[in-house]
Amino acid sequence: MTLLNRNSRGAERQRGCLFAESFASQALVEENGGTVGGTPTFNLATGVTLNGTSEYVEYELQGHELSGPERSFVMEFTPTFDYDEDKNTYLFETSTNQDFLLKRNNTNSNRLMLRIGGTTIGTIDQATYSPHWKVNERNVLVISSESTTTYVWLNGVEVMTDDGSAYTAEVETSLHIGINAGMSDGRYFGGSVKRFAIFAQTLSEGEAIDLYNETTWTWRERALVELPMLNGNVVGTKTTNAGTLGSAADASYGAGAAAPTKSTWRRGYDIADD
């Protein structure tokens, strides 16, 4: 079974993560629903390395990932090219002409072109983003958008502020990493991609900075597991903590007490949700 958010943290799923990939190996990418184009290399520490001429990774989405009013994209990558390379390069694209980020060539002033929901949201001038672009080093791109409100951060720095372009969410069925959906015009990405994620909610500036700094998530785990104190024999053990355990065969152990709640995000029982 394909689990498109299998590589996400629990806190990220709480925040609306619907797709996540860490590119640890080709086998794991394929297990997560991906298809590998060409013969890129995979590494647990650096992700997938694409040659910039013929290699890519693509996924068949389930259709619901980008159908809502909010969305965020997170891409951690290391480019082998600088911002002023004379080439049009797709970092990613969903279904044809729906959502993409494209680095333009010299003729187009090396701008970053962003499209969401089939609408060109805007471009980011090289003067705005180039001081923060790192060639042969780790970069973290965060796009946070709902119609008429779009922000973009590169390495924790805001490079697009509250763009007001409106768009309508569409059902999108594919995701292409390192190339456009049509795989045309030689617009392949060269470098490594360590992580890509899609959220069904807008991420904040603080979260974008946390992603770049690799600091602890501020989103607390809230999943709870109910652990009932079952009535039954416990070999060589009696307990008087939350209640006593017993069974019909040995009624001297007494009746079980009400089940406490075990919190999975910190140690202890019956922790108030503050």
Q: What is the pLDDT of residues 204-252, one digit of tens each?
A: 999 999 999 988 665 545 444 445 545 554 445 444 454 444 444 444 4
| Residue 199 near residue 184, CB atoms below 8 Å | no
Is residue 140 located within the same domain as residue 273? no
d(CA 71, CA 254): 54
Do residues 183 and 260 share a domain?
A: no
What is the length of the chain? 274
Query: Do 171 and 51 fall within a single domain?
Result: yes
Asked if 188 and 235 sit in the same domain, the reply is no
pLDDT value of position 270: 41
Domain of residue 114: give its range.
Answer: 10-213
Q: CB–CB of 269/262 below 8 Å? A: yes
- The answer to whether 100 and 180 have CB atoms below 8 angstroms apart is yes
Question: In this structure, which amino acid lies at residue 249?
Answer: A
For residue 45, pLDDT over 90 is answered with: yes
**Total domain count for the chain?**
2
* Residue 1 counted as domain residue: no
- Please tell me whether residues 121 and 206 are part of one structural domain: yes
Same domain, yes or no, for 182 and 255?
Answer: no
**Same domain membership, residue 97 and residue 67:** yes
131 domain-assigned: yes
In a domain, 4, yes or no: no
Same domain, 170 and 272: no
**Buried/exposed 138-165: b ≥16 CB within 10 Å, e otherwise:** ebbbbbbbbbeebbbbbbbebbbeebeb
- pTM score, whole prediction: 0.78
Distance CA 46, CA 218 (A): 25
